[in-house]
Chain A
Amino acid sequence: DSGVTQTPKHLITATGQRVTLRCSPRSGDLSVYWYQQSLDQGLQFLIQYYNGEERAKGNILERFSAQQFPDLHSELNLSSLELGDSALYFCASSVVASGLNEQFFGPGTRLTVL
């Protein structure tokens, strides 16, 4: 158990819908990262927050957005969902926003878009 929690574990929805994925980082971790894992794209970085502020952006679609709240939990919002958005979404956290710090991964949310 990494200490990072993600809810829900599974999500099945239809095209065009909007969903919210939630992540609670390890106690004391200020930095949260979101990754998408799909068969064709592999593991890809989406976005990073540090202590409530956006720090880095990857290949995140405009239909996707995220935020980190004062209690440090984070939410990833996916809207106008398409079939291709079906993937495993991971949240990771680290103590600080530093390249040498280990990122601890949550168990993931499996999103299926029908």
Chain B
Amino acid sequence: AQSVTQLGSHVSVSEGALVLLRCNYSSSVPPYLFWYVQYPNQGLQLLLKYTSAATLVKGINGFEAEFKKSETSFHLTKPSAHMSDAAEYFCAVSEDSGGSNYKLTFGKGTLLTVNP
């Protein structure tokens, strides 16, 4: 069964500092991986997705993630944090097993705080 582990439920960075949010996945077949962001009292918005086209994926708002099969990781990074990046971030995996199971399995989420 697929699963996602996000290391660190809370990450705090200074404005302008590097953002690194960690995600490791477990999947029995080549996965499709996603990062979503949730701002307070809002729904989830897709930041980026990995669908096997390229291992380094660029998303919106300056975020990117690198798929590393050997490490089963899909960490999210941004070179310079902005105050507006403060939100909760979710890593998710979707397996296309050929059956009818296309659900997203989410990690527990990482709350990003950006300090001025």
Contact = CB atoms under 8 A, between A and B. Distances in A.
A43 B32 contact: no
A66 interface: no
Contacts, number: 60
A99 B106 contact: no
B103 A58 contact: yes
Interface residues of A, number: 26
A104 B45 CA distance: 7
Contacts of B44: 90, 92, 105
A2 B42 CA distance: 11
Q: Which of B43, B90, B94 has the most CB of A within 10 A?
A: B43
A67 to B, nearest CB: 17
A98 B106 contact: no
Interface of A: 2, 4, 31, 33, 35, 42-45, 48, 55-56, 58, 90, 92, 97-100, 102-108
6 contacts: A42-B106, A42-B107, A56-B103, A102-B46, A103-B104, A104-B46
Q: Which 4 A-B pairs have the closest CB atoms?
A: A99-B96, A45-B103, A99-B94, A105-B43
Given A35-B104, A102-B49, 10 more contacts: A2-B43, A43-B109, A45-B104, A45-B105, A55-B102, A58-B103, A97-B102, A99-B96, A102-B46, A103-B104
